[in-house]
Structure 1
Amino acid sequence: MAKMGRATWLLTALAVASSMVAAQSPAIKIMPLGDSITGSPGCWRALLWRKLQDAKITNTDFVGTLPAQGCGFTYDGENEGHGGFLATGIVSNKQLPGWLSKTNPDVVMMHLGTNDVWNNKSPDEILAAFSTLLGQMRDSKKTMKILVAQIIPMNPPNCAQCAQGVVALNKAIPGWAAAKNTTDSPITVVDCWTGFDDAKDTNDGVHPNSSGNEKMANCWFDPLVRVLKS
């Protein structure tokens, strides 16, 4: 009985110590980076946060210089989703380093390139901007984990080239990511394209409606969880 009691005490002590270490572990800082699809209001982020909570994944801190917007419930919604911004413009205006220094993320979730396509930027131009942004992320933290979306389709009435432009960009992203991937700072390609219908899942051919937000939350969830657990 004495041995059993000692063993039980040891297991209890180990459990307590483990829970204390977990409680003291800092939250993983996640920056959602993009344009209005991410930030205005970007309620897929609210749904994603709630899915993480429901899965008991609570060691997260979403960060950014922009606040959460109303999505029907309270959520951790700081972000860098800047309406109208281009990846190429963020690079030319040297904006990302300042955002990174203010928030110090461990993980970046990037859904970017929609406005570049809308402005007739080629996949090569967009991916060159992605490469610069990637370098700035790694300068901020050499172990940065980056999730890059194959962006949702778009087909607004005043942009004849947009639908095929998104297809061309998304086709090029996996090869770019494979060439830039490193062990210390891995890149995960997130497929937000498949199953997304711009006619049914957007209000205007570009921005997600309620069904589109659900689909975007779902496309990010599993890849993000794998990164968080890594």
Structure 2
Amino acid sequence: MLRFMPVGDSMTIGSAGEHTWRYRMWQHLCRAYGGPFAIVGPRETLHDKAADAPLSYEYADPDFPAHARRHLAGWGEGWLHMAPLIRETVKRERADVLLVSLGLIDLGFYTDAEQTAENMRRFVTEARLANPRVRMVVLPVIPNVRAESDAEFATEVARFNELLAKAVADLDEPSSPLLLASVPESYDIHFDTYDGTHPNASGEHKLAGALADAMYQAWGLGEPYDAGT
């Protein structure tokens, strides 16, 4: 049984009242994956903006089962925060496939492009120390609304995405594949987010679809993503 673990920042944990791309991915796997699977991770809540803490269980679909809500994601957390956690988490959760969306918060508040790339490389190393056959699918950083008015930030995002692509190429191994997903060509922060950063329903589908399509195209896992079902 494959065990998938979503890893990410605020775009992955989501906030109260949202579906999240994790929910869309779970629906896709239920529909498209031909074998047993599990969604794993040490956390299951959404971020509660009023409390500024991950305390909410108010998913948009109350029938989203607790066992499928699992994740390793946090509001304001990035590669910097996840690299020290990932070895023990992969080991404890027995994760086989990591679905990773990180980097925006690092570049916005903590580290430059080079430092962020080094933390990404550390993350991969640590994950493999827990499971030498772990597979990882990584999303590039999607420039958010800040990048439209802050040229220096936009440059850091572009530079990190270049370094991320190089790191994926350098670190990919047959026994532990490392895969870079593509940002959907149609992704528009003015249409697919509710605030210029965080995905709305259409954005959730597109992020889940980017990860799902990458796994299908590279590994033959599942089938192409269909947002209409």
Q: TM-score, normalised by structure 1?
A: 0.79
Q: Aligned partners of 2:14 and 2:92: how far apart in 1?
A: 21
Tell whether the 8 Å contact from 1:153 to 1:197 is kept in structure 2 after alignment.
no
Tell whether the 8 Å contact from 2:88 to 2:130 is kept in structure 1 after alignment.
no
Q: Aligned partners of 2:147 and 2:194: how far apart in 1?
A: 12
Tell whether the 8 Å contact from 2:8 to 2:100 is kept in structure 1 after alignment.
yes
Q: Aligned partners of 1:165 and 1:124: how far apart in 2?
A: 9
State the identity %: 21
Deviations 1:83-123 (A, max 9, x none): 111212334xx222232232110111111111011126222
Tell whether the 8 Å contact from 1:192 to 1:220 is kept in structure 2 after alignment.
no
Q: Secondary structure at the match of 1:147?
A: strand
Tell whether the 8 Å contact from 2:91 to 2:131 is kept in structure 1 after alignment.
no
> CA offset at residue 193 of structure 1?
5.3
Q: Secondary structure at the match of 2:162?
A: helix
1:110 to 100, 110, 125: 100
1:167 lines up with 2:158 in the alignment: yes
Q: Secondary structure at the match of 1:96?
A: helix
Equivalent residues, number: 202
Residue 192 (structure 1) aligns with = 183
Tell whether the 8 Å contact from 1:101 to 1:140 is kept in structure 2 after alignment.
yes
Tell whether the 8 Å contact from 2:90 to 2:131 is kept in structure 1 after alignment.
no
CA distance change for structure 1 residues 55 and 86 in 2, over 3 Å: closer, same or farther?
A: closer
Q: Which runs of 4+ in 1 moved over 4 A?
A: none
> CA offset at residue 56 of structure 1?
4.8
Residue 69 (structure 2) aligns with = 77
Tell whether the 8 Å contact from 2:184 to 2:206 is kept in structure 1 after alignment.
no
- For structure 1, list consecutive stretches of 5 or more residues without a partner in the other structure: 1-26
> CA offset at residue 173 of structure 1?
1.7
Structure with the higher helix share, 1 or 2: 1
Residue 2 (structure 2) aligns with = 28
CA distance change for structure 1 residues 89 and 48 in 2, over 3 Å: closer, same or farther?
A: closer
Tell whether the 8 Å contact from 2:190 to 2:196 is kept in structure 1 after alignment.
yes
Q: Aligned partners of 1:106 and 1:86: how far apart in 2?
A: 21
1:134 to 124, 137, 140: 124
Q: Which has the larger radius of gyration?
A: 1
CA distance change for structure 1 residues 189 and 224 in 2, over 3 Å: closer, same or farther?
A: same
Q: Secondary structure at the match of 1:191?
A: coil
Tell whether the 8 Å contact from 1:28 to 1:107 is kept in structure 2 after alignment.
yes
Q: Aligned partners of 1:62 and 1:183: how far apart in 2?
A: 24
1:45 to 16, 22, 26: 22
Q: Aligned partners of 1:58 and 1:151: how far apart in 2?
A: 31
CA distance change for structure 1 residues 62 and 34 in 2, over 3 Å: closer, same or farther?
A: same
Residue 211 (structure 2) aligns with = 220
Q: Aligned partners of 1:30 and 1:111: how far apart in 2?
A: 14
CA distance change for structure 1 residues 83 and 125 in 2, over 3 Å: closer, same or farther?
A: same
Q: What is the alpha-carbon root mean square deviation over aligned residues?
A: 2.4
Q: Secondary structure at the match of 2:181?
A: strand
Residue 64 (structure 1) aligns with = 41
1:86 lines up with 2:78 in the alignment: yes
